[in-house]
Chains A and B, each alone.
Chain A
Amino acid sequence: MAEFGGYEMPLWYSSAKTEHVTVLTHAGIFDTSHMAVVTVEGADAFTLLQLCFSRDLTKCIKPISRGSIVPKRCIYGVFLDEKGGVVDDAIVYKGNDEHYMCVVNAGMGEILIQHLSQFSSRMDARVINLTDKVGKMDIQGPMSAKIFEKILKEPEKVYENFPYFSFKGSFYSSPITNNTVILKNGTNILLSRTGYTGEFGFEVFSASSQLVEIWQMVLKAGEEFGIIPCGLAARDSLRTGAMLPLSHQDIGNWPFIRNPWNFALPYNLDYTGFTKEFIGSHAILENKEDDYTYAFVGDDLRKVTVSEESEVMDTENHVIGTVLTCVSDMGIGRIDGRIYSITSPDKPERFNPKGLSCGFIKVNSKLEIGHAVELRDTRRSLKVRVVDSIRPNLTARKRIKQML
Chain B
Amino acid sequence: MKEISELSLPEDVRYSDDHEWARQEGSLVRGGISDYAQDQLGDIIFVELPGTGETFEKGEECGTIESVKTVSELYMPVGGEITAINENLAEHPELVNNEPYDGGWMIEIRPTDFGEMDSLKGKDAYLKILKG
Contact = CB atoms under 8 A, between A and B. Distances in A.
A302 B66 contact: yes
B70 interface: yes
Interface string B115-131: 00000000000000000
A305 interface: yes
A246 to B, nearest CB: 14
B3 to A, nearest CB: 13
B7 interface: no
The bracket for how many chain B residues form the interface is 10 to 19
Interface string B59-83: 0000010111111010000000000
Contacts of A17: 42-43, 45, 68
B114 interface: no
Contacts of A1: 1
B100 to A, nearest CB: 15
Contact of A305 (B1, B45, B68, B71): B71
A55 B18 CA distance: 50
A330 B67 CA distance: 11
B71 A11 contact: no
B69 A16 contact: yes
Interface in A293-312: 300-305
A378 to B, nearest CB: 10
B42 A301 contact: no
Nearest to B67: A16
Given A380-B64, A380-B71, 15 more contacts: A11-B69, A17-B43, A17-B45, A17-B68, A18-B43, A20-B68, A302-B66, A302-B71, A304-B71, A305-B71, A327-B69, A328-B45, A328-B68, A330-B68, A379-B64
26 contacts: A12-B42, A15-B42, A16-B69, A17-B42, A17-B43, A17-B45, A17-B68, A20-B68, A233-B42, A233-B69, A236-B69, A300-B46, A301-B45, A301-B46, A301-B66, A302-B46, A302-B66, A303-B71, A305-B71, A327-B69, A328-B45, A330-B43, A330-B45, A379-B64, A379-B73, A380-B71
